[in-house]
Amino acid sequence: MTKTRRCVGLGALALIAAAVLFAGCGGGGDGGNAVATGSVSGTITYAATGNPLGGITVAIGGISTTTNANGQFTLNGVPAGPQVLLITADAARDLAIPPGVPLAVDVTAGGTTQLPAPVQMVDDVDTPPAPPS
């Protein structure tokens, strides 16, 4: 009886191992419709001094990160094509992006899109009103 249980147990273990080993082989994929992605890198600074701003949240869609102490960030896994950055500071810091600052980027598949210049944040109370339409 012991030999039978041991054989059944080993057979079941072998079957599970084979299933795990071959689970990813053949069919069932995404049909070749994988989304091409790239990265976006840049720097956030304080407009009044030019100093880097750490701890600023930078996001595109559901992908987000926080700037380091040098104001630098990199967003990875961003879908390729035209995207818009969302940059926010903790409410206690009272910082904002002035109206009209371009936050659109064209993400290159497999590459890193570097912002051409630092994005400058201003004191929220200093934010000029949006131009009339």
- The verdict on residue 4 lying in a domain is no
20, part of any domain = no
Query: Where would I find the H helices in the chain?
Result: 2-22
Q: Residue 97 belongs to a domain with what CATH number?
A: 2.60.40.1120
Contacts of 21 (CB under 8 A, 6+ apart): none
Q: Does 31 reside within a domain?
A: no
1 vs 18 pLDDT, higher one: 1
pLDDT tens for 21-64 read 334 444 455 555 678 999 999 999 999 999 999 999 999 999 99
Task: Quote the pTM value.
Answer: 0.68
Residue 1, in any domain of the structure: no
Does 2 reside within a domain?
Answer: no
74 Cβ contact partners less than 8 Å away, ≥ 6 residues apart: 39, 40, 41, 65, 112
CA-to-CA dists, residue 121 to 28, 46, 70, 103, 126, angstroms = 47, 5, 14, 12, 10
Q: Is residue 64 part of a domain?
A: yes
Query: Domain limits at 43?
Result: 37-126
